[in-house]
Structure 1
Amino acid sequence: MALTGKLSVETVIRSPAAKFFNLMARQLHHVQNVCDRIHAAKLHVGNDWHSVGGSVKHWTYIIDGKVVTCNETIDIIDEQKYLVIYNLFDGDISKNYKVFKLGFQVSDNSNNSGASITWSVEYEKINNDVEAPYSYMEYLDKCTKEMDAYLLKA
């Protein structure tokens, strides 16, 4: 059984791609106020929520009904491709994964009705007994729907 893998899920939203990207790339600190499954987020190291590699954020959220924590940095923000890749580490993530990269790319639908978001998780498990992070796919799908509802009201 492989220790490394990649999972992805595509979600369609009614909000424009630029609006969703802006929330996740420039207003990340606000996501904790939008998603029920995110309990808290705070700037742990640094003074900027949105710089690549410079600051560390500490997250508390619910996966599979359990409260979990991790730290996060931003590895990539690509303004042209509406792409962001986060690196999750420490806390509960490190109990199961050596590497955990969470990314998304969002693009407007061709018929001008919303956007499509492809979430992906690239991971390396600490051993073969650890399950692939399937629960994160469900988590991301549900959080995306909550963010979309918020953006449609804003």
Structure 2
Amino acid sequence: MASQSVGKLETDVHIKATAEQFHDVFCSRTHHIANVCPEKIQGVDIHEGEWGSQGSIIYWNYVHDGKKCVAKELVEFVDKDNNKATFKVLEGDLMEDYKSFRITVHVVPQEEGSVVHWTFEYEKRKDHSPDPHTLLQLAIDVSKDVDSHLVAQPDKNQATTK
């Protein structure tokens, strides 16, 4: 009997913002996501390191399937030139169902706007544990909220020095 314990889910979200703007929010200004969609993300705090740098530890408070959840993530990989980052979940509610959980967000520029490519790679604790489809939907919803925020306030989101 083949085990279904290792899985991968992927999706694309088309956005109007530039790849650089979106990547900047998810990597360097991650804590602002809670301001953009507080009903989904209650807080994002850095526990070690600096925003946007590999090796940093980020702590998320979020709502998933109507339940308040937490996740402690390691920023495993950041490629600013290609607007790509990988996060490894270390602790939290997800670890009840999964032995390992890795999230990659890769933002690809398009002629108009960008495409956010989400990849979830995971290993289930039990074969009957659910695939994280609802979590992927949360990522899609948060992506759309961040995009709406970036498009609505373009002047505030430019990488300018103060």
* TM-score normalised according to structure 1 size: 0.92
Letter in 2 for 1:29: H
* CA drift at 1:80: 2.2
SS of corresponding position for 1:80: helix
Report the equivalent of 2:159.
none
The residue correspondences of 1:35-114 to structure 2 (distance < 5 A) are 35=37, 36-44=39-47, 46-53=48-55, 55-109=56-110, 112-114=111-113
Q: Deviations over 1:87-134 (max 9, x none)?
A: 11212111111111011111111xx31111110100011111211111
Letter in 1 for 2:40: R
Q: Deviations over 1:34-87 (max 9, x none)?
A: 12300112223x24222211x322111011111111101111111222111111
Query: Using the alignment, how far apart are the partners of 1:79 and 1:47 within structure 2?
Result: 17
Report the equivalent of 1:131.
130
Tell me the matched-pair count: 150
Long gaps (5+) in structure 2: 154-162
Long gaps (5+) in structure 1: none
* TM-score normalised according to structure 2 size: 0.87
Report the equivalent of 2:7.
5
Runs of 4+ in 1 over 4 A off after TM superposition: none
